[in-house]
Structure 1
């Protein structure tokens, strides 16, 4: 294994140049996902489930989670955006309807990487409810509870985290760091140094 890869895996540096500080190690993430899968299995008790992952951040979580859910599953992806770069924006919110499977009268689990202000999840819930699913529940890997300003709470969450900018395990800074196997924080100077 190269020194560059080894350093990235232990959370000291990243090949893009910025240093990271591990907030949630890979082993804790995998343990939390196993627990989440067991909770979902118990909740739905063998009923078919449609899991909708919110692109792009949920892709790694989605792949790891669905392999552990022992239920009949359908999987879909939602292309939604209210994030660009480093922060939530108040601009247009768009969901691409081409990616949404038929969910009428089905149990649906919306899956996202992080619940921050709640804007994305609130708007997606509003739009998905118009498709008349049997039920909708939400699951997130990370919840910035102190920062949530919309009246939405996840039905399932793996970790509550402080209000820090985080990357890794699907979360990015300008499309970098998604591939880290853990959740990490970036310092402001590291964010500035990363650039495009």
Structure 2
């Protein structure tokens, strides 16, 4: 899928496929340096992190393991219920492990903050965060993110794992969805 396949649903491209590829390589190099000589477990947050996690893992020169979690903080609508639920937990025991949580986007940071607290309660050696997109103006909490691909404005974005109604995750770029699509 590309920009022309979206037709009038795409407003504009914010981050190109090449920019994503370049930044992914740069983050992988930082991670390789930071975890040299140490074990590494990548924990992807489903569903959005699938693209980021796959591309990041392929760029690493450091051996790593991968696992997945799915969490939800939303009820039936589009506003948070305030309750975080684990929909799919890790298959791996993380006690004593170096954990790198991989995300597609950090908006408010509230759900991720809860998730980090939950993971830290399992006594890992370390827990850090890697995200392709952070929206600094949307953050509602002080959250340390060690690896950030891009800081973007607080707009409705799709592509590279980010969806609208489960569509557009497979776009190779990150763009804004035209307002008429969700008004």
- TM-score normalised per structure 1: 0.86
Q: CA deviation at 1:64?
A: 0.4
CA contact (8 A) 2:27 2:147 kept: yes
- After superposition, the Cα gap between the structure-2 partners of 1:129 and 1:118, relative to the gap in structure 1 and judged at 3 Å, is same
Equivalences, count? 183
Check if 1:187 corresponds to 2:178.
yes
- After superposition, the Cα gap between the structure-2 partners of 1:87 and 1:166, relative to the gap in structure 1 and judged at 3 Å, is farther
User: In the alignment, which residue of structure 2 is the partner of 1:152?
Assistant: 143
- After superposition, the Cα gap between the structure-2 partners of 1:66 and 1:86, relative to the gap in structure 1 and judged at 3 Å, is farther
Q: CA deviation at 1:90?
A: 3.2
| Structure 2 spans left out of the alignment, 5+ residues | none
- After superposition, the Cα gap between the structure-2 partners of 1:113 and 1:53, relative to the gap in structure 1 and judged at 3 Å, is same
CA contact (8 A) 2:132 2:149 kept: yes
- After superposition, the Cα gap between the structure-2 partners of 1:145 and 1:87, relative to the gap in structure 1 and judged at 3 Å, is farther
Check if 1:25 corresponds to 2:16.
yes
- TM-score normalised per structure 2: 0.92
Check if 1:111 corresponds to 2:122.
no
- After superposition, the Cα gap between the structure-2 partners of 1:39 and 1:64, relative to the gap in structure 1 and judged at 3 Å, is same
What secondary structure does 1:67 align onto? helix
CA contact (8 A) 1:52 1:109 kept: yes
User: In the alignment, which residue of structure 1 is the partner of 2:168?
Assistant: 177
User: In the alignment, which residue of structure 2 is the partner of 1:14?
Assistant: 6
CA contact (8 A) 1:169 1:178 kept: yes
| Structure 1 spans left out of the alignment, 5+ residues | 1-7
CA contact (8 A) 2:10 2:175 kept: no
Q: CA deviation at 1:86?
A: 8.5
1:58 pairs with one of 17, 31, 49 = 49
